[in-house]
Structure 1
Amino acid sequence: MLGGSAGRLETIIEREAEAGLVVMGKRGASSAFAAGHLGSKIERVLRASNKPLLVAPEQFVVPTRVVIAYDGGKSIARTIALLTSTPLLDSLPIHLVRAGAETQEHRDEMEQAVKLFEQSGRAATISLTSGSPERVIADCVAGAPTSVLVIGAYGHSPLRNLIVGSTTTSMIRAVEAPILLVR
Structure 2
Amino acid sequence: MTNVIGCIDGSAATNAVCDYSSWAAFQLDVPLVLVHVLDNNRFPTETNATGNIGLGTREQLLEELAELDAQRAKLALKQGNLMLEAAETRARQDGIKNVQLRQRHGELADTLHDMEEDIRLVVLGLHGEDTSENSQHIGSQLETVIRTMHRPILLTPSDYTAPASAMLAFDGSATTRKGVEMIAKSPLFKGMPVHVVMVDADTSDNWEKLKWAEKQLTDNGHEAHIALKAGEVEPTLHEYQSEHNIDIMVMGAYGHSRIRQFLVGSTTSNMLQASKTPLLILR
Do they fold alike, i.e. is TM over 0.5?
yes
Higher Cα Rg, which structure: 2
What are the superposed Cα offsets for residues 84-139 of structure 1, whole Å, 9 maximum, x if unpaired?
Answer: 23212112100111112211111111001111112222231111111111111011
Q: Is the 8 A contact 1:145 1:177 kept in 2?
A: no
Gaps of 5+ in 2: 10-36, 38-107
Match of 1:88 among 172, 175, 188: 188
Match of 2:136 among 36, 45, 51: 36
Q: Which consecutive segments of 4 or more residues in structure 1 shift more than 6 A? A: none
User: Percent identity, aligned pairs only?
Assistant: 29
- The corresponding residue for 1:3 is 6
- The corresponding residue for 2:48 is none
Q: Which moved more, 1:40-49 or 1:168-177?
A: 168-177
Against the structure 1 CA distance between its residues 179 and 136, is the aligned structure 2 distance closer, same or farther, given a 3 Å change threshold? same
* Alpha-carbon distance in structure 2 between the residues aligned to 1:109 and 1:69: 13
Shift of residue 155, structure 1, vs aligned partner? 2.1
Q: Secondary structure at the match of 2:216?
A: helix
- The corresponding residue for 2:154 is 54
Q: Which moved more, 1:169-178 or 1:71-80?
A: 169-178
- The corresponding residue for 1:23 is 123
Match of 2:251 among 137, 151, 164: 151
Against the structure 1 CA distance between its residues 94 and 168, is the aligned structure 2 distance closer, same or farther, given a 3 Å change threshold? farther
Q: Is the 8 A contact 1:97 1:128 kept in 2?
A: yes
2:202 alignment partner AA? E
Q: Is the 8 A contact 1:73 1:155 kept in 2?
A: no
- The corresponding residue for 1:119 is 219
Ranked by relative contact order (alpha carbons within 8 Å, sequence separation 6 or more), the top structure is 1
Gaps of 5+ in 1: none
Shift of residue 167, structure 1, vs aligned partner? 5.9
Calculate the TM-score normalised by the size of structure 1: 0.86
Shift of residue 166, structure 1, vs aligned partner? 7.0
Instruction: Output the aligned Cα RMSD.
Output: 2.5
Match of 1:67 among 144, 155, 167: 167
* Alpha-carbon distance in structure 1 between the residues aligned to 2:133 and 2:167: 31
What are the superposed Cα offsets for residues 56-93 of structure 1, whole Å, 9 maximum, x if unpaired?
Answer: 01122212210111111221112112222321211210
Calculate the TM-score normalised by the size of structure 2: 0.58
Against the structure 1 CA distance between its residues 170 and 73, is the aligned structure 2 distance closer, same or farther, given a 3 Å change threshold? farther
Against the structure 1 CA distance between its residues 177 and 111, is the aligned structure 2 distance closer, same or farther, given a 3 Å change threshold? same
Q: Is the 8 A contact 2:152 2:282 kept in 1?
A: yes
Q: Is the 8 A contact 1:16 1:22 kept in 2?
A: no
Q: Which moved more, 1:87-96 or 1:32-41?
A: 32-41
Q: Where is the helix percentage greater, Structure 1 or Structure 2?
A: 2
Shift of residue 42, structure 1, vs aligned partner? 1.8
